[in-house]
Amino acid sequence: MKAGYNQFNPKRRLAEVDEGMAFRLKELAKQVKYGGNPEHKKNPGDFGLTPPSDPRQGKSLCDISDIFTHREALKLLQAGIRKGLVSHKSNQGWPQNVWAVTKDGCALEAQLENCMQGSYHGYPMPDSDPLKAEILSRWGAHG
C-alpha cells in the first residue's frame, strides 16, 4: 500500500531507544536536513522546491499544519529525532521515519528521502492512522 493522505504503511513502528541510541540520535539531530516535497505543498513558503508547489490528489498537504518555513520544519524534525520518535527501520544509519507534533497538536510524519544527505520531507498524519495516537502520547510524555 502506497502512503497517501488516507493511507499509511502498517509496518511502521517506533524504535526502542536505549542510552546508546539516544546519544546517536542527538548527533543525527545536528546533521539532519529538511528538503520538503512539492507534492505536499500548496503554499511553497521558503522551502525552495522545484516546482515550487505541485499538490497531488491523495497526498496530505503540509499547509494544514501551518508550517510555512524551512526553519520551523527542520526544528520539528530535529526535536522528533532527539525525543526518539524514530522508526525501527533505518537506511545508512538514518531512521526511515521521524515523527513530531506542532505546538497546535498536529502530528507529523517525516520520511527519509536521501540517505546520503540525511534529508527528509514531512506531512501531517491522517486521523485514520493508528500510529497517530501513540505519537501524540509519546510527544507529550517527552515534554
Question: How confident is the model over 100-110, as pLDDT tens digits?
Answer: 999 999 999 99
101 near 93, Cβ under 8 Å? no
Q: What does residue 79 show for φ and ψ, rounded to 5 degrees?
A: -65, -40
Q: What is this structure's pTM?
A: 0.79
Q: Where in the chain are the domains?
A: 19-141
Q: Angle at the Cα of 26 (from 121 to 31), degrees rounded to 5?
A: 50
Over residues 39-92, the pLDDT tens digits come to 555 555 545 544 445 545 555 555 556 676 889 989 999 999 999 999 999 999
- State which amino acid sits at residue 49: L
Q: How confident is the model at residue 123 (pLDDT cuts 50, 70, 90)?
A: confident
